[in-house]
């Protein structure tokens, strides 16, 4: 039975705090295991990849050909359902069009002291794209990971995707072919992240590793960060639906289950100001679980981590939403924009009764790789910016240095960094700095 919270109850604050405090991420044992896997790959390279893939994916890699041959990729891609491939093309066009609008322009100007200032954007040289392939395969993740990198101008894109027991999903490889990516490694888990970060004889290392994954993948990304860049440390999927009584409870139940089916530790939460509607949604969830193919995952998620929160008025919702800081937020209310204006912490928002979260997973355009576990308080979804480096530009001539150098000398001396001061003053004798009138 899903938990139910009511803002009118005296214990609401403590119950809500307990909901926020629940941990759905990796255990300390996972941290230690991942560290061991990373160390193994760094020390033993390809041999470790072969052994770890056999152990965890029950798949025997060919040590002499860890990178998938072009003919194998083509053969798998050719097996993909043609109608699904057309849907991928449709989605790719929309995703690319959105991300093209994110591309920043270089900035160059001269300020009032005639100092040249600016920013220059350049892509990283290589990006590793992790595409999950465990309990489910995600060809949509190929598009969401790769397209912003391509828009940024990354020259080398590398896909790592597990093939448990040697079973590959043709549509994943069709998506890679659609985007022109031919460097693919059938490895997964922490060993894949380690190979992308540090390289082996077969895998040339990359500069940035992106993409969602399980506890082992998320933990590995956290541990390699600093040696390579990462997009984020993503945890289990989550959805928060704020809905009034004007909705069809079947729709809202389906939306909640759309994320609960991802994983037993996914989270689905409903906030509503209508108690009878809450009852109807809860009943409808139980009905839909009877026919949902991934009901085993969804039921465990719903019963262990799901919640229905009944509030007296929708005006209470923004404060609760900001504390939850959800990955996905649906505002299924009569005026979603008014409510959204009061909300700050969310990975992606879906406005109105006719915008199910799943539309954002596939074809809307914005990226579906989003911050989870309350990290939307400070993090954002995957974008073109994750594949770009920003370089500051500063240029002085003798005249502009004369205008601003005195202040630099004064501040350097105040910090007892006389070498800093000398590197400025040696070019020109400055009068003592005085505060401008």
Would you list the DSSP string of 337-358?
HHHHTT----SEEEESTT--HH
Can you count the helices (H) and strands (E) in the chain? 16, 14
Ranges for all domains in the chain classified under CATH 3.40.50.1980: 3-25+235-364, 28-234
Longest distance between any two alpha carbons in the chain, whole Å: 83
Instruction: Provide the CATH number for the domain formed by 28-234 in this structure.
Output: 3.40.50.1980
Which CATH code is given to the segment(s) 3-25+235-364? 3.40.50.1980
CA dist., res. 433 & res. 431, Å (int): 6
Strands (E) located in 337-437: 348-351, 388-395
% of the chain exceeding 90 in pLDDT: 90
Statement: residue 435 has pLDDT above 80: no
Q: Give residue 75's pLDDT band: very low, low, confident or very high (50, 70, 90).
A: very high
**Rounded distance between C-alpha atoms, residue 99 and residue 95, angstroms:** 6
Please, is 392 exposed, middle or buried when counting C-beta atoms within 10 Å of its C-beta (0-12, 13-18, 19+)?
Answer: exposed
pLDDT at 64: 86
- Least confident range of 123-127, 233-237, 326-330, 338-342: 233-237
Nearest CA to 218 among 433, 34, 95?
Answer: 34
Give the model confidence (pLDDT) of 350-374 as tens digits.
Answer: 999 999 999 999 999 999 999 999 9
Query: How does the average pLDDT of the chain come out, rounded?
Result: 95
pLDDT of residue 244: 97
pLDDT at 430 over 70: no
232-236, 278-282, 391-395: which has the minimum mean pLDDT?
Answer: 232-236
- Tokens of residue 255, six digits: 């939306």
Cα–Cα distance measured from residue 423 to residue 408, given in angstroms and rounded to the nearest whole number: 10
Output 291 or 432, whichever has higher pLDDT.
291
pLDDT at 158 over 60: yes
What is the pLDDT at residue 433? 62
- Does the structure show a pLDDT above 90 at 137? no
In this predicted structure, the answer to whether residue 415 has a pLDDT above a threshold of 70 is: yes
**Length of the chain in terms of residues written:** 437
CB 285 within 8 A of CB 253: yes
Cβ pair 292, 298 in contact under 8 A: yes
Q: How confident is the model at residue 282, as a pLDDT?
A: 98
How much is the CA Rg of the chain, to the nearest whole Å?
Answer: 26
Give the model's pLDDT for residue 76: 96
What is the structure's pLDDT at 228?
98
| Backbone torsion region of residue 92, taken as left when φ is above 0, otherwise alpha when ψ lies between -120 and 50, otherwise beta | alpha
List 107's β-bridge partners, or say none. 119
Q: Which tens digit of pLDDT belongs to each residue from 5-39?
A: 999 999 999 999 999 999 886 677 899 999 999 99
pLDDT at 224 over 90: yes
Q: Angle at CA 50, nearest 5°, toward 49 and 51?
A: 95
Asked whether the predicted pLDDT for residue 213 surpasses 70, the reply is yes
Q: What is the pLDDT of residues 246-294, one digit of tens each?
A: 999 999 999 999 999 998 999 999 999 999 999 999 999 999 999 999 9
Q: Average the pLDDT over 190-213 and give the result.
A: 97
Contact 261, 296 (CB under 8 A): no
Active-site residue list:
327-328
In this structure, are residues 107 and 93 in contact, taking their beta carbons and an 8 Å threshold?
no
DSSP labels for 41-86?
A: HHHHHHHHHHHHHHHHH-----TT--SPPHHHHHHHHHTS-HHHHH
User: Would you say 2 and 282 are in contact if contact means Cβ atoms under 8 Å apart?
Assistant: yes
**pLDDT score for 432:** 62
Give Cα separations from 50 to 58, 60, 98 (angstroms): 10, 7, 39
Q: Which of 307, 223, 272 is nearest to 39 (CA)?
A: 223
Cα angle: 9, vertex 12, 13; to 5 degrees: 140
Rounded mean pLDDT, 417-428? 93
Residue 52 in this model has a pLDDT that exceeds 90: yes
Report the pLDDT averaged over residues 284-307.
Answer: 96
What span, in angstroms and rounded, lies between the C-alpha atoms of 363 and 147?
Answer: 13
Residue identified by tokens 């005006």 is 315
């Amino acid at each position: 039975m899903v938990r139910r919270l009511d803002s009118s109850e005296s214990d609401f604050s403590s119950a809500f705090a307990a909901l926020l405090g629940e941990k759905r991420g990796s255990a300390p044992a996972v941290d230690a295991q991942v560290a061991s896997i990373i160390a193994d790959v760094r020390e033993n390279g390809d041999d470790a990849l072969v052994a770890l893939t056999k152990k965890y994916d029950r798949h025997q890699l060919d040590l002499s050909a860890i990178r998938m041959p072009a003919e194998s990729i083509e053969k798998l891609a050719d097996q993909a359902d043609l109608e699904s491939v057309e849907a991928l093309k449709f989605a790719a066009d929309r995703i690319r069009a959105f991300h093209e609008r994110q591309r920043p322009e270089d900035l160059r100007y001269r300020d009032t002291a005639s100092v040249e200032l600016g920013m220059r954007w350049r892509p990283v040289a290589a990006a590793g794209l992790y595409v999950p392939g465990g309990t489910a395969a995600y060809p949509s993740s190929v598009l969401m990971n790769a397209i912003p990198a391509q828009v940024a101008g990354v020259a080398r894109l590398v896909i790592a995707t597990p093939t448990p027991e040697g079973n590959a999903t043709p549509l994943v490889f069709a998506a890679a072919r659609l985007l022109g990516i031919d460097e693919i490694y059938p490895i997964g888990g922490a060993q894949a992240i380690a190979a992308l970060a540090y390289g082996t004889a077969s895998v040339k290392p990359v500069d940035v590793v992106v993409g969602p994954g399980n506890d082992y993948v998320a933990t590995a990304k956290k541990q390699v960060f600093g040696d390579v860049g990462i997009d984020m440390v993503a945890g289990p999927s989550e959805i928060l639906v704020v809905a009034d009584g004007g909705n069809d409870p079947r729709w809202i139940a389906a939306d909640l289950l759309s994320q609960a089916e991802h994983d037993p530790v996914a989270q689905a939460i409903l906030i509503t100001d209508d108690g009878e509607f809450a009852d109807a949604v809860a009943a409808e969830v139980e009905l839909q679980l009877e026919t949902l193919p991934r009901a085993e995952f969804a039921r465990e998620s719903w019963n262990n981590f799901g919640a229905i929160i009944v509030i007296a008025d929708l005006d209470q919702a923004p404060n609760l939403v900001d504390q939850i800081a959800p990955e996905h937020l649906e505002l299924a209310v009569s005026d979603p924009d008014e409510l959204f204006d009061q909300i700050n912490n969310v990975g992606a928002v879906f406005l109105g009764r006719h915008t199910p979260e799943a539309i954002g997973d596939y074809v809307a355009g914005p990226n579906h790789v989003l911050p989870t576990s309350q990290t939307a308080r400070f993090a954002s979804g995957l974008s073109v910016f994750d594949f770009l480096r920003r370089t500051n530009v500063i240029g002085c001539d003798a005249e502009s240095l004369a205008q601003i150098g005195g202040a630099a000398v004064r501040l350097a001396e105040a910090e007892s960094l006389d070498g800093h001061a000398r590197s400025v003053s040696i070019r020109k004798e400055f009068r003592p700095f005085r505060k401008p009138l």
